[in-house]
Structure 1
Amino acid sequence: MDTSQAPAPQAGQDTDKAPARLIDFELAAKTAATLSTPGPKLTGAEVQAVVADLRVHAEASVAHVHQISGLEAARDLRDSEVLIVDRAAWARANVHSFEAMIDAPLRAAAAKHVDKLSGASMEIGSRVTAAEMGAILSFLGSKVLGQYDPFAPLKRPHIPAAGRLLLVAPNIVEVERELNVDPADFRLWVCLHEQTHRVQFAAAPWLRDHLLESIAELVEGMLSKAESFSDRVGQLASGKASLSTLLQDEDDKAVMSHLTAVMSLLEGHANVVMDGVDASIVPTVKTIRQRFAARGADRGPIENWLRRLLGLDAKMRQYADGQRFVSAVVKEVGLEGFNRVWERPEHLPTERELHHPSEWVERMGA
């Protein structure tokens, strides 16, 4: 299986002068890879066939996203690398993405709050938090089918500036077997969803930096007001508490509300695009949808507990809110009217507008 990964992060600074690191990201990556399970057994020939097939479907799906979404950014899009990975490689890649997103604001916060940190507690805390992060990602790595990662280039200069598309081959094979669906159709169906996220960031090239700025503001806001600085870092990185329980004031809550609305928009839009996939694109799409939707009812008690702990079910509800918003706006003003959302940050919906789509339409003058 093609499990290409980027090289380890480079220091970039004199370690004697650099602010302390609150999370040992390399330990997190090693932990995630060590705890990851391999997934279904495949022969060497089967692995090669799956990798080649997924690459074909990843390429073909872009044109379909263009047709359904009406976004010109999807026309012959070739801005990102496509990696077919195993579970361990996916987990490592996500550690690196978290590093790109939160390491800088964590370092900045640490520099401002040196008085709250001791060398010994920092070292222990950074390793404990890293182990927790790695364990969580190893669990998620056995569930996720694919992901578009726009943040990878920030720590991996060799990656195309737009990011990379990750398809987790063992999970795709495992689910298609579990559901007993046509492999070619299922693989294209998965690629369509993930390529939609790639197209979103291509249509809104400002979106990555906008998200990074919002995340940095949220991290700094939470940690600067924390009663126990290192404990807050651990909670933030390990998922022991939801973000809402860490928010300290109205400014923090406003940033979190904005991020919630943006993430709901991205997932909701991807779901709407997927709803536009018919039998002319994926012949057995109706069967795939029905069986995939029913799959959640078969989760065991441990998995359900972990999902609640990590807030995954809450995220799914947020995505449903985003889907209703996109569907309502498209119904009222059409695809062209909705696609104004990708033009600039000011066009992103607020969390209130997410639940009241007509207010966004009115604000846009559509």
Structure 2
Amino acid sequence: MKEIEEIKKEFEEKIKTKSIEELKKVETHFLGRKGKVVDLFKTLKNATEENRKNIGQQINDLKSYVEETISKRLKELEEIEKNKLLANERIDITLPGIRLETGGLHILSKVMKEVEDIFLSMGFDVMTGPEIESDYYNFEALNIPEFHPARDMQDTFYLAKKILLRTQTSPIQIRTMEKYKPPIRIIAIGRCYRRDAIDSSHSPIFHQVEGLVIDKNVSFSSLKGTLLEFTKKMFGEETKIRFSPSYFPFVEPGAETAISCVICKGKGCRVCKYTGWLEMGGSGMVHPNVLKNVNIDPEEYQGFAFGWGVERIAMIKYGIPDIRMFLQNDLRFLEQFK
């Protein structure tokens, strides 16, 4: 049929289009509802009975040819488009990659880890306890009964009657002595809370490390040797330690501990207020009443305890002038310790 050949020839010319958009127009032109191939089927009614079957077969063959050719050409054009896109978006693998920002330990976490590692190397265990404590563990068991004047030394956050935020990590010592029999060698490290006015050296939230040793024949010399060993490992071999008599309800005798200034090496400077010494915290021999409260015989066992502020340790070791810097989340400050 001449008309079929003409349509096929026209189609083969138009299928050479170079865009998907133009190809869709070609498809509509030949296979749409008013397309040329569809119109051919309408001519069958005018064909004789003898030719109708033959002509119908030719039209169907043309339709199949057009559909297959369009499908094939569409895949070719899609591949061309994809290659163009890849060429335009080519990645230069020689360019340096984008460096991802990595986090790091907070300076206080870093110092606490260092403190723990030193005491672990000295044979101590690390103990933890709840930050919400009872009045008994925070005060009474530590030889600070109700109405004792020493309670005025610590402004406390009370959550309910007899329930409070711990003001020190000492309750961990009581819980440990209740649970384990001597000998005991532990440090208790963690967050504490006091109603302190915020300034360069005070914060209502701070961290404390306390040590406790309970055994037979423990003396003040044992305390001095332990703290001197820790001090040298933390601040340097040349660092010295000094004990001055002081009062704490849970130890007897009690002492304030100080280390030789790590800035001026004991010669005197603004940091140590020209004394050559930096105060670190309290210490002493565990009071017999504290041992009795946990059913340890003070005639058979003795012990020593000490407590230093973690922020204080960090400020001295790294020359940090203001305790508020630990909580300000200033990346310029924090990134110095990554």
Same fold (TM over 0.5): no
Greater RCO, 1 or 2 (C-alpha within 8 Å, sep 6+): 1
- Relative to its length, the structure with more strand (as a share) is 2
Q: Which has the higher helix share?
A: 1
Q: If the length of structure 1 is used for normalisation, what is the TM-score?
A: 0.23
Q: Which TM-score applies when normalising by structure 2?
A: 0.25
